[in-house]
Amino acid sequence: MSENKNYALEINDLYVEYRTQDDTVCALNGMDLQIERGKTLGLVGETGAGKTTAGLSILQLIPHPPGVITSGEIKLNGDTIFEKSSTTSHAKTEKEMQKIRGKTVSMIFQDPMTSLNPVLTVEEQIAEVIAQHENVTKAQSYEKAREMLELVGIPGSRGGEFPHQFSGGMKQRVVIAIALACSPGLLIADEPTTALDVTIQAQVLEMMKGLREKYETSMLMITHDLGIVAEICDMVSVVYAGRVVEHGTLEDIFDHTRHPYTEGLFNSLPNLTDRKAKLKPIKGLMPDPSNLPTGCPFHPRCDYAIDICVKERPEKVYRTDHHYTACHLYNSENIVEGKVIKR
């Protein structure tokens, strides 16, 4: 991929493993992601697909041991955070990453209950981030912390309260306030509404959309909920077994679905126009990341699998400049007279 100053994030051919005495878990297997500045990318897939590992890799927060980035490249605003290949090895130091986390890139973690320190007031936790990255006095950092609470819909007067005094939805708003305190260029949201009920979920998403526009923040929305993707994302990457299998605009993915896995995700949703229609879940389970199938990792669950799917990992096939699919079905060699050669 050529360097592009318009990208807030670029991830190229990233591999991450978790190594234990018993097994090596291949969490990411050639992950490619790119987010244009001011845009939101939805990273979609089942539990265990590698979505959270991708987010932690950007922040260089992969727990080591057992986690290790074995190869690939990560760039933020054109600045290389990590690069490793057979000829090159470079990574930001922990001290350098501390300056980047919270200022250049922030992350909203999945569970607000465990993201906040129970023995510090919420304004202390927001002020800590501000003091770390901005040249302000302690009083100024607390003043801005209360302003951030107001921005996410919490009265600033509640800043002196502790996390246990807030509901789940309010806690998540506090976490968002911490993430946005220093106006980061990239916000990583790891299933930020999973722990919330539907009504609060809608409020939080609406608030995030407004804040994204206010700060012109780029966003990586990690989720398994296609409804959230439709609500908030500009681009979508569908990930399976640690690799993007289909990528495109919202319209590409929803209206021109190509990959059998993406098709399976949509078939698993209730049909609102036909309430009697049965769900069509994807057969089988996600593959064991410590023992991935040969060839295309989706082939054991795929209704369209052909001989080559078992033997070779598919390369990207582009439908448009933005829409690609990693699937052998779209390789002209596997199509005869307009029909796919079945197994």
pLDDT in tens, 35-52: 999 999 999 999 889 999
Homologous superfamily of 7-85+92-104+184-282+291-340: P-loop containing nucleotide triphosphate hydrolases (3.40.50.300)
**Cα→Cα distances 342→306, 311, 335, Å:** 5, 14, 9
**Position 242, amino acid:** G
Please, what's the largest Cα pairwise distance for the chain?
73
Q: Give the phi and the psi of residue 138 in degrees, each rounded to 5.
A: -60, -40
Closest CA to 204 of 214, 217, 191: 191
**In sequence order, what are the residues at sequence separation of 6 or more whose Cβ sits closer than 8 angstroms to the Cβ of residue 160?**
121, 123
Contact by Cβ (8 Å): 77, 69: no
Q: How much is the pTM? A: 0.90
Give the integer Cα–Cα distance in Å for 95 and 130. Answer: 17
Question: Hey, CA dihedral for 197, 249, 283, 276, is it positive or negative?
Answer: positive
Q: pLDDT tens, position by position, for the chain (343 residues)?
A: 444 558 999 999 999 999 998 899 999 999 999 999 999 999 999 988 999 999 999 999 999 889 999 999 999 999 999 999 988 899 999 999 999 999 999 999 877 778 899 999 999 999 999 999 999 999 999 999 999 999 898 999 999 999 999 998 899 899 999 998 998 999 999 988 877 788 888 888 888 888 888 888 999 999 988 989 999 999 999 999 999 999 999 999 999 999 999 999 998 887 777 777 777 889 999 999 999 999 999 999 999 999 999 999 999 999 999 999 999 998 766 654 444 444 3
Q: What is the structure's pLDDT at 341?
A: 46
Q: What is the structure's pLDDT at 76?
A: 95
- Per-domain residue ranges of the chain: 7-85+92-104+184-282+291-340
Closest CA to 81 of 134, 131, 130, 8: 8
